[in-house]
């Protein structure tokens, strides 16, 4: 335990100066020799007034992007769970990369360590909303969350961690089973976000190929069965608002109808256009109109203000630097 604490609080495998190893310095030397703490190499940094985007590279040459968002009173890190993504959502830049590989638990945690020990930034919130579908890498994601939330190490509370899925029904059900069965009881306060973006199967199937595997009816049942730790807790429903695609009064009505029986909060996210030119950003008036429609129909919702779009660090924009480096 002293070594675990030292590793995640100081970012080094060196432990010869710890009092717990004072009587066995040979063991301390062997640990440092045999145990390599590989924090990802920062290959590039992009920054604006309130965000930092990192291009991180692992020893095998694979690259990912990680984002730090500075809020008024705290900082959040948006970490990737895969290098690339196989799900191919049409509004997401990461989908253009395809899937290179899953990240290990250490590589997921390593993104946080890079920010903490290379940049000196301590974050208090973590969202698994970067590159990749977390539930396509279930075991490594759960292990990383358990490491990050351990009070003896990094100590970010589970209630301050959000895992976001594109609608991976088996993954949602598996996480729910872990919580209910006691396999991972500490995860009961974990926040779940589901990327929906349309409550019409045909429309959602065009934007999100995953809907052709697990359509809305199956997804809703899985969401309804997901356990919430407290009565006031909600499932976050991510809704990227795209003009002429999913922003009509009928789209709003379908969404509210779909979410009946689900304790939810809809996060309305103005579309952040990628480099494929498929979609455009809605105006502020269009966003507020859709927000008002949902509110009028009794749906709890919020507008997620765009952050980081000037450095291609906003929702749906991760992957541009990786593509540039790969093609260059």
Where in the sequence numbering do the catalytic residues fall? 65, 315
Kind of pairing between the strands at 63-70 and 75-78? antiparallel
178: its two tokens: 């872990």
C-alpha–C-alpha distance, residues 211 and 311, integer Å: 30
Residue of 53, 77, 214 whose CA lies nearest to 148: 77
Contact 133, 82 (CB under 8 A): yes
Residue of 179, 185, 209 whose CA lies nearest to 88: 209
CA dihedral 322, 61, 116, 133 (to 10 degrees): 60
Which own/partner pairs from 230-233 qualify as long-range (CB within 8 Å, at least 24 positions apart)?
233/191, 233/263
């Amino acid at each position: 335990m002293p070594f675990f604490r030292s590793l995640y609080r100081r970012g080094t495998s060196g432990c010869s100066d710890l009092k717990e190893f004072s009587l066995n310095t040979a063991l301390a030397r062997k640990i440092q020799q045999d145990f390599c703490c590989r924090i990802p190499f920062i290959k590039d940094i992009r920054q604006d007034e309130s965000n930092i985007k990192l291009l991180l590279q692992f020893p095998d040459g694979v690259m990912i992007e990680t984002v730090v968002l500075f809020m008024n009173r705290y900082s959040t890190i948006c970490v990737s769970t895969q290098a690339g993504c196989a799900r191919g959502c049409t509004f997401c830049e990461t989908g253009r990369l395809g899937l290179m590989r899953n990240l290990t638990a250490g590589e997921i945690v390593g993104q946080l360590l890079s920010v903490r020990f290379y940049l000196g930034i301590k974050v208090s919130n973590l969202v698994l909303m970067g590159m990749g579908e977390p539930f396509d890498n279930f075991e490594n994601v759960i292990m990383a969350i358990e490491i990050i939330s351990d009070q003896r190490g990094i100590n970010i509370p589970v209630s301050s961690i959000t895992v976001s899925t594109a609608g991976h029904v088996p993954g949602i059900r598996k996480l729910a089973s872990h919580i209910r069965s006691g396999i991972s009881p500490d995860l009961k306060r974990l926040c779940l976000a589901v990327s929906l973006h349309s409550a019409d199967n045909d429309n959602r199937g065009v934007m999100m190929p995953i809907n052709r595997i697990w359509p809305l009816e199956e997804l809703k049942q899985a969401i309804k069965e997901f356990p919430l730790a407290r009565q006031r807790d909600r499932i976050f429903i991510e809704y990227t608002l795209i003009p002429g695609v999913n922003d009509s009064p009928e789209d709003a009505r379908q969404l509210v109808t779909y979410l009946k029986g689900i304790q939810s909060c809809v996060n309305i996210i103005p579309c952040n256009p990628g480099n494929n030119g498929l979609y455009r950003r809605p105006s502020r008036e269009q966003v507020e109109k859709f927000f008002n429609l949902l509110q009028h129909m009794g749906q709890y919702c919020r507008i997620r203000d765009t952050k980081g779009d000037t450095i291609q660090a906003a929702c749906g924009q991760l992957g541009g630097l990786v593509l540039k480096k790969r093609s260059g």
